[in-house]
Amino acid sequence: MEVQVLGAHNCESTEGRLTSLLIDQVLALDAGGLTSSLSLSAQAKVSAILLTHYHFDHIKDVALIGYYNGLVIGSGLDNKTKMVYSTAEVLDALSAHILNDKIFPDFTRWPSKELAAVKFCPVELYHPQTIEGYRVVAIPVKHSVPTVGFEVTSGDGKAIFYTGDTGPGLSHCWGHISPQLLITEATGSNRFSKKTAEVGHLTPQLLKQELIEFRQLKGYLPKVVLIHISPPLEVVIKEEVAQLAEELGSEISLGYEGMKISI
Binding site for Zn ion (CB under 5 A): 55, 57, 165
Closest distance between Zn ion and the C-beta of residue 44, in Å? 26
Q: Whose Cβ is closer to Zn ion: residue 55's or residue 208's?
A: 55
Please say which residue, 82 or 201, places its beta carbon nearer to Zn ion. 201
Cβ proximity to Zn ion, 57 vs 210, nearer residue: 57
Q: How far is the CB of 19 from Zn ion (least distance, A)?
A: 6
CA-based torsion, 40, 62, 136, 225: positive or negative: positive
Closest CB 133 distance from Zn ion, rounded Å:
28
Shorter beta-carbon distance to Zn ion: residue 123 or 159: 123
- Residue 12 or 106 having the CB closest to Zn ion: 12
82 contacts 45 by C-beta, under 8 angstroms: no
Least Å distance between CB 228 and Zn ion? 5
Produce one character per residue of 211-232: b if its CB has 16 or more CB atoms within 10 Å, e if not.
beebeeeeeebbbbbbbbbbee
Q: How many other β-carbons are positioned within 10 Å of the β-carbon of residue 122?
A: 14
Specify the residue, 116 or 123, whose C-beta has the smaller distance to Zn ion: 123
In the complex, minimum distance from the CB of residue 82 to Zn ion, in angstroms, rounded to a whole number:
21
Q: Compute the least distance from the CB of residue 85 to Zn ion, in Å.
A: 18
Report, in Å, the least distance between residue 64 CB and Zn ion: 17
> Which CB atom, from 165 or from 257, has the smaller least distance to Zn ion?
165
